[in-house]
């Protein structure tokens, strides 16, 4: 699940490992939530699903960090990005959306066309990436100017990350105040820095390196975030006896900082790649596209997160799904001519 690398982009082993790890984390996240509606909110299975889901929320920000690091460092013109990268993303979306629409057993051709156009839930990433392609020339200007990038990331952090997190913290105490805060931010409507573009730019900044002090601080924030995310969900859900996902959005500090910490750690520590790692990294987009289909097939034959205790079933199902999905991703890339457009 990542933007295809720019042509002639330098291969960085740490990025390849993060790409593969984040793809598996997304698969684990979806394996954890695939049966969520079938279990009681007070059950051990529900707690296991929420735990694994929360633990893997860093995976999606990781892909935007990687994409920003690669594309904002490149000087490829927008016309080439659209002709090569956007074409690949768009073709993959149309093909896989068609597959998932057909598999959903639509009521008729109108239902099928609507489902095809709307796309399966996990294909939202394709639209997000296509939007970022259009912003690349503008984001390069911001990212490469020290004063501009600091101000832009400050806006992105405050309005897209910090304030939404504060509204989540305030809500258990005063839902009315929380709703008021959310309404005010909505009226300000700083859409440009409030989307995934902020994480995109942050990835480029991280790729340029941090001071040892800032790197250590990022690791601390990352550890706090990865603990806080599932713990907050479990505690709030237990208190209100229903699913509470206030701190699960992918722009929250507790999801972005773990991704950023892992990004920096792997970039700085993994200096040598292997042939297998490169193959898996290249197949990760295809694995992401096909993995929900694989999860559905496995569930129909009885291999689901409810097979036995969910604490073990979820990672087991995720591991099987990931293995099959990466194999399919590798095979898809080997299809002559069209393979690179489908995975």
Q: Which two tokens stand for residue 151?
A: 């101000």
Residue 142: inside a domain: yes
Residue 8: inside a domain: no
Q: Dump pLDDT digits (tens) for 176-199.
A: 998 898 888 888 877 777 789 999
Residue 7: inside a domain: no
The model's pTM: 0.91
Whether 295 and 302 have beta carbons less than 8 Å apart is answered as no
Q: Is the pLDDT of residue 2 over 70?
A: no
Residue 201: inside a domain: yes
**Whole-number pLDDT of residue 305:** 84
Q: Which two tokens stand for residue 85?
A: 């990268």
Rounded Cα–Cα distance for residues 314 and 293 (Å): 16
Residue 3: inside a domain: no
Q: How many domains does the chain have?
A: 1
**Whole-number pLDDT of residue 327:** 97
Q: Which of 273, 199, 284, 269 lies closest to 12 in space, CA to CA?
A: 273
DSSP state letter for 245:
-
Residue-wise burial string across 220-246, b where 16 or more C-beta atoms lie within 10 A, e elsewhere: ebbeebbebbbbbbbebbeeeeeebbb
**Whole-number pLDDT of residue 209:** 92
In which domain, by residue range, is 264 found? Answer: 13-342
Percent of the chain topping pLDDT 70: 97
Residue 2: inside a domain: no
Residue 328: inside a domain: yes
Average pLDDT (74-92) is 92
**Whole-number pLDDT of residue 4:** 53
Residue 6: inside a domain: no
Rounded Cα–Cα distance for residues 277 and 283 (Å): 10
Rounded Cα–Cα distance for residues 331 and 334 (Å): 5
Least confident span in 40-49, 85-94, 211-220, 310-319: 40-49
Percent of the chain topping pLDDT 90: 65
Average pLDDT of the chain to the nearest whole number: 90
């Amino acid at each position: 699940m990542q933007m295809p690398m720019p042509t002639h982009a330098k291969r960085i082993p740490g990025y390849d490992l993060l790409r593969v790890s984040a793809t598996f984390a997304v698969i684990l996240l979806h394996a954890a939530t695939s049966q969520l509606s079938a279990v009681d909110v007070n059950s051990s299975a529900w707690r296991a699903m929420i735990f694994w889901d929360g633990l893997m929320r860093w995976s999606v920000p990781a892909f935007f960090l990687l994409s920003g690091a690669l594309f904002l460092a490149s000087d490829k013109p927008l016309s080439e990005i659209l002709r090569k990268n956007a074409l690949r993303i768009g073709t993959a979306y149309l093909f896989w959306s068609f597959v998932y629409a057909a598999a959903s057993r639509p009521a008729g051709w109108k239902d099928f066309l609507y489902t095809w156009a709307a796309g399966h839930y996990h294909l939202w990433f394709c639209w997000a990436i296509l939007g970022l392609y259009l912003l690349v020339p503008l984001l390069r200007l911001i990212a490469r100017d020290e004063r501009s990038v600091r101000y832009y990331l400050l806006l992105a952090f405050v309005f897209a990350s910090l304030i939404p997190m504060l509204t989540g913290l305030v809500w258990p105490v005063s839902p009315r105040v929380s709703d008021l805060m959310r309404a005010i931010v909505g009226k300000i409507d700083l859409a440009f820095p409030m989307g995934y573009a902020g994480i995109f730019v942050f990835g480029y900044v991280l790729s340029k390196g941090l001071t040892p002090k800032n790197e250590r601080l990022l690791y601390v924030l990352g550890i706090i975030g990865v603990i806080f995310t599932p713990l907050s969900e479990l505690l709030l859900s237990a208190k209100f006896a229903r699913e509470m996902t206030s701190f699960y959005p992918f722009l929250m500090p507790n999801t972005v900082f773990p991704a950023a910490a892992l990004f920096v750690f792997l970039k700085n520590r993994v200096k040598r790649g292997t042939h297998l790692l490169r193959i898996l990294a290249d197949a990760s987009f295809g694995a992401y596209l096909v993995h929900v289909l694989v999860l559905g097939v496995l569930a129909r034959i009885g291999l689901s997160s409810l097979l036995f205790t969910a604490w073990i079933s979820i990672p087991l199902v995720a591991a099987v799904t990931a293995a099959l999905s990466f194999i399919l991703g590798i095979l898809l890339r080997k299809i002559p001519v069209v393979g690179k457009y489908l995975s």
